Amino acid sequence: MSTSADPLAALAALPGVTESVDAVRTAVDRVYGHRVMRRRSNEVTSEAALRGARGSAALAGADWALEEVRRRTDFGAEGEPRTVGAALRLTAEAGQLLSIWRQSPLRVLARLHLVAAGGAEENERIGRPRQSGEPVDEPLIGSTLPLPDADEVAGRLDGLARLLLAGSQAPALVTAAVVHGELLALRPFVSRNGLVARAAERIVLVDSGLDPKSICPAEVGYAELGVAPYMAALEGYASGTPEGMAAWIGHCGRAVELGVRESTAVCEALQRGAA
């Protein structure tokens, strides 16, 4: 990452990033201008939350059909049900943490892990960055990227928090993509890092004012684009090269655009009285 006074803004100047930012802004403005949003935005928000949770769970290995997510209630069971339950809980919790995020991003990340874990691990390992020697259960990433040691994790988390608290002139998409990518690359917790990273990205998009009603579920887009492109883009982020960083931001932008398309379809269905 750039060492300029505003490294996020420096990333926004990379080739291709402006085009991604503009495309996302245009798409978001279009769905917010839909006539259904004037009176039924709460319904669109609720549906976007459900679909976003389904998409995030799919990336974590629980690729359920949307209707199955709607009808199932056994989210405490081991395996895929617990993963889907974690994604649903995170989506519900994220919107309650905006004021804390502005003061202490690290507190929010700890809370997100507590919510995601849901008692799945021993208490002392939940809600705090992993310590030296603690294994990480993150099947999607696995051995694809080197796992930073605990000291590096602590230092980079602190740096990320200071960067966020300092503020930036960078577009929301850039900030959200960096938060998402950094958390995936670091895997700071012993489990559920992908779910936490995508929930944190959602918080940034909402808090920034780009998507204040949380109706543009990027998680839908990531799931639609597929695991292999997601991982390839993440490897670009982890490389730290300008080309890799720009590719990751572009991938995040496409995911938001697909989330917008999903919510636009929800708006159209509500308008027809079919939802």
**Beta carbons of 28 and 211 less than 8 angstroms apart:** yes
pLDDT of residue 76: 80
pLDDT at 41: 97
Q: Which of 41, 83, 14, 60 is nearest to 216 (CA)?
A: 41
Identify the pLDDT of residue 86.
Answer: 96
pLDDT of residue 1: 47
Residue 122's pLDDT is what?
53
The pLDDT, as a whole number, for residue 275 is 47
Give the per-residue pLDDT at 29.
98
Q: Give this prediction's pTM.
A: 0.94
Positions in the chain whose pLDDT score sits under 50: 1-3, 275
State residue 139's pLDDT score: 79
- Residue in the block written with tokens 């939802």: 275
Hey, what are 147's tokens? 């796992």
Q: What is the pLDDT of residue 4?
A: 61
CA distances from 245 to 77, 96, 150, 194, 252 (A): 38, 30, 23, 18, 11
